[in-house]
Chain A
Amino acid sequence: MMVPAMVWVVIFGYVPIFGVVIAFQNFRPALGMFGPQTFVGFENFNYVFHIPSIWGVIRNTLLISVSNLTLMLVVPILFALFLNEMKQMGLKRSIQTIVYLPHFLSWVILSGIFIDLLSPSNGAMSALLRMLGITPPDFLGDPKVFPVTVIVTNIWKNFGYGSIIYLAAISGVDTSLYESAEIDGAGRFKKMWHITLPGIRACIVLLMVLSLGGILDGGFDQIFNLYSIQVYSTGDIIDTLIYRIGLQNTNYSVGTAVGLMKSLISFILISISYFMAYKFTDYRVF
């Protein structure tokens, strides 16, 4: 029963891993993937570190991903905590239905929406800001503003979906704890701080640890669909750079070299994070 899947994983999982030899070659597609290519040692890696924008790209990636990861912890937890306090079930359910929705729309759709909405000339957001007497910034065209736009729209898309897991964890907290806290005179916020949060601590730690592996991902789908050449200085990330060097400029070997370095660092981080998750919370993938 496992045979087809094993064949599949060899072809689509392992062949690309061995395909990283491209990074050590002067790769020419016409000769075939494992054909008689010329090996050039670490020349491509040397080249990578001479790309003028490379350090900027690494900085952008880390800045955007660390902000994303931090906000994706804080905002969904806060949202879940406060949603949990809501007693009107109908409204609560409607709110949940609405906030989960953006997660299921692709960045192609959402970038279409945001490019229109945030357009400095005829977008509704700019019109709204002008009405309030604020000069609208060029959300997608100003290098200073672009990373903020990326981070905010990312949290906008995902905070609702991210809160599901915390809501589930909160509903698992022992209700008798709240009752005894009430008897001791604890108010709403005291209960949140001293019962709910410690009650979901394991869940928070687990998600925090597992998110570590994504630290070199700035969100390719999102940035690729929102950025433009005038915001490369602050918006270009590792994955978009790989795409542009490797596939657009057909500089296959250099693209693979960047990808390989990213994969190796991510591999170490993911392994550490799974190991920590296993140690702390007994989390297992299989």
Chain B
Amino acid sequence: MKLNAWRKKSFSVFPALNGFVLSVAALTCLLPVVNLLAVSLSGNAAATSGAVGLLPVDFTLDSYAMVIGNKDFWQAFLISVQRVFLAIIITTVMTTMVAYPLSQVSRKFKSRTFYAWFLFTPMLIQGGLIPWYFTLSSLGLVNSIWAFVIPGAVPVFNCFLLSNYIRQLPPALTEAAQIDGAGHTRVLVQIILPLCKPVLATLTLFTFVGNWNEWFQGLILMDTPSKYPLQTYLQVLNRDASSLLGGLTANIQQYINASSRSIKAAQIFVAIIPVAAVYPFLQKYFVKGIVIGSVKG
């Protein structure tokens, strides 16, 4: 019986074919990044002529040396780090402060529905890019790092997500604490939040990636390239290579074995590293996070 089952499995074409097709699909997702890495590690002549496939040709670390020595790049990198750090602190505090009251049953918190709709309405209808821009500029946020943090301080969808999560915790836990005389702050900090760790971790990671990847605000809200976060810096670089890179490398380039193409690739690769570094943690949580957020009973 057992042998029979084994035989049936090994002779079936479907699993092999299926595995092959899916593996190819996965490879197409990976190969462009591999190619990027190969280009970044290739020598000047090979990169310029386009002979680079999946392995570096004429291996050199010169382009990475160029990136390490590029002050503008690290300045932008640092702005991104600051921004991510501030955003995580502020959004976590704000999300919790909104989610906890909203998680109360309407019987205890009469105007819950009103507050929820008040927060939700701007998600449905928006003024659009230009009124948003002038709101920020009349608040004096243009050219300030707070322009990246404050306008996104309350991620409304995440607030609902967290509040829905709190709602499905057993109410007995908080009731017991309240009978013992604990106030709302104490209940929130000592009982609710420790139970919300998986959701909070998910939201933190999403905030990290979202803020790290955001580039458009930097482009429209910052007047000088010295205030750009890394993604905006790279965006401008992609669109117009001569603007940021040209002046810097033109005279040095003749001494090193790196093309502007591989330097560009190296900068992009360095910008991927922080996302890649949190990705294992992210993957552990996002599946759960999506499922909580989307299909709930």
Distance A131 CA – B236 CA, assembled complex (angstroms): 33
| Size class of the contact patch on chain A | 35 or more
Pick from B15, B134, B139, B159: contact of A29, CB under 8 Å: B134
Pick from A29, A256, A285: contact of B120, CB under 8 Å: A285
Query: In this assembly, does A146 line the interface, its C-beta being within 8 Å of a C-beta of chain B?
Result: no
Query: In this assembly, does A5 line the interface, its C-beta being within 8 Å of a C-beta of chain B?
Result: yes
Query: In this assembly, does B89 line the interface, its C-beta being within 8 Å of a C-beta of chain A?
Result: no
> A106-B231, A255-B130 in contact; A286/B32 too (CB < 8 A)?
no
Q: Please state if A160 and B94 are interface contacts (CB–CB under 8 Å).
A: no
Pick from A15, A94, A123, A224: contact of B26, CB under 8 Å: A94
Nearest-Cβ distance from residue B80 to partner chain A, whole angstroms: 11
A-contacting residues, B124-165, CB 8 Å: 124-135, 137-139, 150-151, 153-154, 156-157, 159-160, 163-164
Distance A145 CA – B19 CA, assembled complex (angstroms): 31
**Interface residues of B: mostly helix, strand, loop or mixed?**
helix
Nearest-Cβ distance from residue B214 to partner chain A, whole angstroms: 8
A-contact 0/1 string along B254-297, CB 8 Å cutoff: 00000001001100100110010001001100110011001111
Query: In this assembly, does B30 line the interface, its C-beta being within 8 Å of a C-beta of chain A?
Result: yes
A-contact 0/1 string along B215-252, CB 8 Å cutoff: 11000100000000001101101110000000000000
Q: Please state if B22 and A119 are interface contacts (CB–CB under 8 Å).
A: no
Number of residues of chain B lying within 8 A (CB) of chain A? 96
> A16-B128, A124-B50 in contact; A1/B122 too (CB < 8 A)?
no
Pick from A82, A98, A109, A168: contact of B268, CB under 8 Å: A109
Q: Please state if A108 and B235 are interface contacts (CB–CB under 8 Å).
A: yes
Residue picked from A13, A126, A206, most chain B C-beta under 10 Å: A13
Q: Please state if A1 and B101 are interface contacts (CB–CB under 8 Å).
A: yes
Q: Please state if A112 and B130 are interface contacts (CB–CB under 8 Å).
A: no
- Chain B residues near A14: list those with CB within 8 A: 122
Distance A105 CA – B269 CA, assembled complex (angstroms): 11
- Chain B residues near A203: list those with CB within 8 A: 295
Distance A19 CA – B234 CA, assembled complex (angstroms): 31
Query: In this assembly, does B53 line the interface, its C-beta being within 8 Å of a C-beta of chain A?
Result: yes
Total A-B pairs, Cβ < 8 A: 258
Q: Please state if B97 and A2 are interface contacts (CB–CB under 8 Å).
A: yes
Q: Please state if A247 and B133 are interface contacts (CB–CB under 8 Å).
A: yes
Q: Please state if B272 and A105 are interface contacts (CB–CB under 8 Å).
A: yes
- Chain B residues near A255: list those with CB within 8 A: 128-130
Q: Please state if A1 and B133 are interface contacts (CB–CB under 8 Å).
A: no
- Chain A residues near B139: list those with CB within 8 A: 11
Which of A45-53, A56-64, A173-181, A262-270 contacts the other chain? A262-270
Query: In this assembly, does A6 line the interface, its C-beta being within 8 Å of a C-beta of chain B?
Result: yes
Q: Please state if A16 and B29 are interface contacts (CB–CB under 8 Å).
A: no
Residue of A nearest to B30 (CB): A98
Residue of A nearest to B280 (CB): A97
Distance A247 CA – B32 CA, assembled complex (angstroms): 33
Q: Please state if A91 and B19 are interface contacts (CB–CB under 8 Å).
A: yes
Distance A44 CA – B84 CA, assembled complex (angstroms): 39
Distance A123 CA – B29 CA, assembled complex (angstroms): 17
**Interface residues of A: mostly helix, strand, loop or mixed?**
helix
Q: Please state if B14 and A188 are interface contacts (CB–CB under 8 Å).
A: yes
Q: Please state if B215 and A106 are interface contacts (CB–CB under 8 Å).
A: yes
A15-B135, A256-B127 known; 10 new pairs, CB 8 Å cut-off, are A12-B150, A16-B128, A20-B127, A82-B18, A82-B21, A85-B14, A156-B28, A164-B287, A165-B295, A286-B163
Q: Which residues of B contact A (CB under 8 A)?
A: 14-15, 18-19, 21-23, 25-30, 32-33, 35-36, 39, 47-53, 94, 97-98, 100-102, 115-116, 118-122, 124-135, 137-139, 150-151, 153-154, 156-157, 159-160, 163-164, 184, 209, 212-216, 220, 231-232, 234-235, 237-239, 261, 264-265, 268, 271-272, 275, 279, 282-283, 286-287, 290-291, 294-297
Could you show 26 A-B contacts with beta carbons less than 8 Å apart? A1-B97, A8-B150, A8-B154, A9-B118, A13-B122, A16-B126, A18-B131, A85-B15, A94-B26, A98-B26, A98-B27, A106-B212, A106-B214, A109-B271, A112-B36, A126-B50, A127-B50, A128-B53, A160-B29, A164-B286, A164-B290, A252-B130, A255-B128, A256-B128, A286-B102, A286-B116
Q: Which residues of A contact B (CB under 8 A)?
A: 1-2, 4-6, 8-9, 11-20, 22, 29, 32-33, 79, 82-83, 85-88, 91, 94-95, 97-102, 104-106, 108-109, 111-117, 119, 121-124, 126-128, 156, 160, 164-165, 168-169, 188, 203, 206-207, 220-221, 224-225, 239, 242-243, 246-247, 252, 255-256, 259-260, 262-264, 267, 270-271, 274, 282, 284-286
Closest 6 CB pairs of A and B: A122-B50, A19-B131, A259-B128, A13-B122, A16-B127, A106-B213
